[in-house]
A = this chain, B = another copy of it.
Amino acid sequence: MRVVTLSIGDELLDGRGVDTHGAWFSRQLVLHGCEHVEHRVVSDDVNTIRDAIVQLLPDSDLLLLTGGLGPTLDDLTRDALALVLDVGLEEDPAARDALEARLSGSGRPLGAGNLRQIMRPVGTRFLSNDNGTAPGILAHHEGVSVVLLPGPPREMCAMFDVHVVPLLEGVQRERVTIRSYGLSEADAGERLGELARRDRQPLVCFKVSDSIVQADVLGDGAADVGERIKALWAPFAFGDDQDTLPEVVGRSLATRHADVAVSESCTGGLLGGALTGVSGSSEFFRGGLLTYSNALKSALLGIPEGLFETVGAVSREVALLMAMETARRLGTTYALSTTGIAGPGGGTPDKPVGTVWIGLCDTSGSQPVVVARCFRFSGDRAQVRDRTVKSALQMLRLRMMEDESTLLWEVES
């Protein structure tokens, strides 16, 4: 099945936005065994959209459009489709009912924009949208199915599963994803060896995104090759498919009936935020202390003020004490602490930007064990903080596995 996709929106062409739909569609269509023939990005101009649809129809069995279905006057995709079909727009009675029901709960009145969103070209039908006010539209023209979906990724992706997948007539291919954190891209590639060859079956593609090194295995035998990659990437491979580090760590904790607390300086709450991003995190996460200022490190955790003078807040001693006191005062099985220099300011020759100490206290045994490890992360402020969170979570995961491997960016201290 030949599928052509079209993203619509001025913001995708004037430097404000980035079109991510094209690549997302490619992955989904490959998964469903369809051929992604072409992707286009055009502006919110009704004639441009019309011309693109007319040009693309002969090349496709299914034409997928996204964007330009919002409530404002520059949302013109439905008008362009009406031009192609050579029909007018009409109000959809069921859509009006649904919209009124939806908005009545919020106490907001029906505006002119909302009224635009319940119009569709005569002879087409609406596709429900559970995450927004803009329904999609399905038309059939010259033997081609034409589907209009709203642009916001969350709405679009959910509607793709519900409304587009049933239209896809492809051959499913086996697919497995392995995700890892803490080894470099080069190291990950070398460990794969022959598996990374482009002419192999199943095909192994790997990529790095937000410091997560991921392998996608596609084709017959993907599951077996996935298991081999997990072994080659041990102990850094933490999960399959859409697993995240916080989820995997949370599951491990819950399985052991253990819990965790945090004390955060340079991450300022992001580690707690990551752990509580997991549904049901109250099972394993108790809480924590954001001791961003040195005064609060002393007041909330009892860190002796003299330490800030002698070894500094970014030090093994402070990371150790933070983790230990957090576990003791909050009464949890494990505690993680972070203290570092996220930048852009604050670096010194001894402790350049990116220097972070992560502490871990483990009270699961007969005696509490507390360790601290030093990292020198590359990247800007956001990356340093993100890598700190991921390294702390991987440290806890490895601790539960009794593995002492060194992580990427870790330095002798």
Residues of A that sit less than 8 Å from B by CB: 9-19, 22-23, 26-27, 29-31, 36-44, 48, 55, 70-74, 108, 111-114, 131, 152, 154, 177, 184-187, 189-190, 196-198, 205-209, 216, 218, 261-262, 264, 266-277, 279-282, 285-293, 295-296, 299-300, 330, 343-345, 379-383, 385
Contact = CB atoms under 8 A, between A and B. Distances in A.
A26 B73 CA distance: 23
A186 B285 contact: no
Contacts of A267: 273, 276
A292 B300 contact: no
A95 to B, nearest CB: 16
A285 B264 CA distance: 13
B37 A26 contact: no
B43 A31 contact: no
A279 B113 CA distance: 39
A206 B295 contact: no
A342 to B, nearest CB: 8
A269 B338 CA distance: 13
A31 B15 CA distance: 8
A270 B286 CA distance: 15
A22 B41 contact: yes
B287 A300 contact: yes
B26 A13 contact: yes
29 contacts: A11-B216, A12-B39, A13-B37, A13-B38, A13-B39, A14-B26, A14-B205, A14-B216, A19-B23, A38-B41, A55-B55, A70-B185, A71-B189, A72-B196, A74-B198, A74-B205, A108-B184, A111-B186, A113-B185, A154-B380, A268-B272, A268-B273, A268-B281, A269-B273, A269-B288, A269-B290, A272-B273, A279-B344, A286-B295
A26 B279 CA distance: 37
Contacts of A288: 269, 289-290, 292
A36 B14 contact: yes
Most buried by B among A15, A27, A39, A291: A15
A361 B266 CA distance: 25
A12 B9 CA distance: 20
Given A38-B42, A189-B71, A273-B267, A16 B287 contact: no
Most buried by B among A22, A30, A186, A271: A186
Contacts of A379: 131, 154
A71 B111 contact: no
A363 to B, nearest CB: 17
Contact of A268 (B114, B276, B292, B381): B276
Contacts of A23: 12, 15, 17-19
Given A113-B189, A114-B186, A285-B268, A205 B16 contact: yes
A264 B287 CA distance: 9
Given A71-B189, A198-B73, A16 B282 contact: no
B290 A287 contact: yes
Nearest to A383: B154
B382 A277 contact: yes
Nearest to A297: B287
